[in-house]
Amino acid sequence: MEVYAAMVERMDWNIGRVLAYLRDSGKLDNTVVLFLSDNGAEGALLEAYPQLAPNLEQVIAEYYDNSLDNIGNANSYVWYGPRWAQAATAPSRLHKAFTSQGGIRGSALLHYGGFRRQRQISHAFGSVMDVVPTLLELAGVVHPGREYRGRPIEAPRGRSWLSYLQDEADYVHDADSVIGRERFGRKGKWKLVYIPAPSGLATWQLYDLERDPGKVRDLADSQPEKLTELPADWHDYMIETGVIEFERRGITFGGII
């Protein structure tokens, strides 16, 4: 954890150098600066992975130097495990590799002098899929759609943040926006999630993220209509994005092609 904290401090210092250069050159207020973290805190127990465990110690001994004084250098290979990861994502549940909030929620910093919203902490829901539509709208560029120069392309799935950032809207994704991923779906304040055993119940769980951001109260039994509605929306997402269906305990899931 000390090494991780040092890495964060180093990153903060170097981002500060970039911002200082832009400020000193008079370009800061005409530059969009966006920082996104990866999803969740890394909580893997690599020594427990069947694919890695038999040879992990041998690989580390042969190719890396994990001595105490060397940890954090380019030729070290260490991890801080699930307990520190859960501490890092608290009060959100779990960490990377899970589709709970601790596994998919990430921090973002955004600066541009042309936004009406300035110096605010926002809790509005957004997705990494929104970045492309946002930058295109800021640049005044219209996405070509499904074809570019005779080649088929994919249209962005996200929504631009610009109306929200210009204080023209209170949200990016409204109550009817459906966001799908593998083993979870979100619609407005509602989130449907499947977490395999032993970390979860191995069945669909339902949460109200406005009232329960830490996801400790499963509403699957008390909100049966939502437990029917959200899997149907999620199934539409699977069809739209080409997710392969498979079934476990009578529940349909998906994996990326």
CATH number of 175-257: 3.30.1120.10
Q: pLDDT tens-digit profile of 162-210?
A: 999 999 999 999 888 888 776 777 888 899 888 888 888 888 899 998 8
Cis upstream peptide for 198 (omega within 30°): yes
Helix (H) or strand (E) holding 141: none
CA distances from 15 to 22, 34, 51, 82, 189 (A): 11, 11, 36, 28, 33
CA atoms of 139 and 242, how far apart (whole Å):
30
- How high is the pLDDT of residue 244? 66
- Count the helices and strands in the chain (H runs, E runs): 7, 10
- pLDDT of residue 130 exceeding 90, the answer is yes
For the segment 213-230, the average pLDDT, to the nearest whole number, is 88
Residue 113 to residues 156, 161, 199, Cα–Cα distance (Å): 25, 15, 44
Q: In the chain, where are the structural domains located?
A: 123-172, 175-257
This prediction's pTM: 0.79
Site of tokens 């009578």: 250
Q: In this structure, what token pair is assigned to residue 91?
A: 């009060």
Q: Please, which pLDDT band fits residue 47 given cuts at 50, 70 and 90?
A: low
The one-letter code for the residue type at 189 is K
- Residue range 138-154: average pLDDT? 92
Check pLDDT > 80 for residue 254.
Answer: no
**Contact in structure between 244 and 185 (CB atoms under 8 Å):** no
Examine the pLDDT at 68 and tell me if it is beyond 50: yes
Tokens of 140: 């005044």
Please give the average per-residue pLDDT across 235-245, as a whole number.
Answer: 75
Residue 16 CB coordination number (10 Å): 10
SS3 216: coil
pLDDT > 60? residue 133:
yes
